[in-house]
Structure 1
Amino acid sequence: MAVQVSRFGPRVWIFLIAVSLIIVVAYAVYAASLSDGTSTTASASLGSLSQVQSGTSPLVGKQVPTFSLPELTVGAKPASGKVSPSNFAGHPLVINFFASWCTACQAETPMVASVAQELGHKVDFLGIDENDTDKAKALAFIAKDHVTYPVATDHASLQGKYLLIGLPTTVFVRASGKVVGVVQGQMTRQVLDHWITRIE
């Protein structure tokens, strides 16, 4: 006896196939945006993160993503060139993403700058100023907080590579270049000290 197929069967299958194709295409577009260092999210979406989220990041265990960005300043000196993680090869590195308009960054940066001065050359620090449209405000911000480590300026080109969802975000890198931790949100001194011991 032949099995009767519902007259709505083919329509249901066509609908499911169409939905599946849409999902596959959407994922391919998203993956491509991460691979070329861009993001499908508008740069303005980066907000201030006051709550620390230090869960495991996909970056952990991988080599720190490469980049070459214009240098905003080195201490009190004017900008002089490009900044890249390769500048710090062979040294433990803390990469801190911040912005002058970010309220959590305003609270965190003085503490980060103080720890960087205490550690001297034992651990290198690199600041990434994200999406500051006014260079003067960015310079005033780091001057006020006595930031003496190199600071580069970026306008969302690293948002995909570093999976940034907000500011501040801090990436901890061993001398080998491997990422061991990522903290999203405003750190306490205790949290910063904990991760520094993991890369020293």
Structure 2
Amino acid sequence: MMLTTHVLVGLALATPVLAVAPELGVPALAGGAIGGAFPDADMYTAHRRTLHFPVYFAALAVPALGLAAVAPTPATVALALFLLAAAVHCRMDAFGGGLELRPWKGTSDRAVYDHYRGRWRSPRRWIRYDGAPEDFAFGLALGVPLWVVLDGPFDLLVAAALAVSAVYAAVRKRLPDLAPVVAEVAPEPLESYLPDESEER
């Protein structure tokens, strides 16, 4: 799924805190948004393996949520929502497509790496690939209510996430064809960060 979808999910997980403890809403929303995005910081370094921990994030989120419930502070709430959103991100990636350059072809059996079991989880392809119409629709279904409920910088974040999602979804299938063109003009230090058409991960 798109990074923006994960951010919106993180915000959605944190939004109930606004009803229970409005004074903790900002750290909860910040933790959820950052946690939703965090695993994808490994985008160019063994993506969905380096920072994706579907078991360990979940195992850490449970006691963190318990701590936030009995000792609610900005730090404990932010940490709990960060870990919860990161755990959900890693689980959600298994519901999407694989790691191939053109995931709509369904040729990869690698969705997210499970460090606990020492193996890759297979893609279920409920959302066929990042940027698929159903990925955008899911983000939109989350984003519109969030935009109505939230205010300040968070409704701006939602609006930006939806705008980026719309553009990315519109051009997603064209991006693999641009990789060789970009590789020709990219400075040498950046070439290693571009996807390799021949690489099967």
TM bucket by the smaller chain? under 0.3
- The structure that is strand-richer by fraction is 1
TM-score (norm 1): 0.21
TM-score (norm 2): 0.21
Answer with 1 or 2: which has the greater Rg.
1
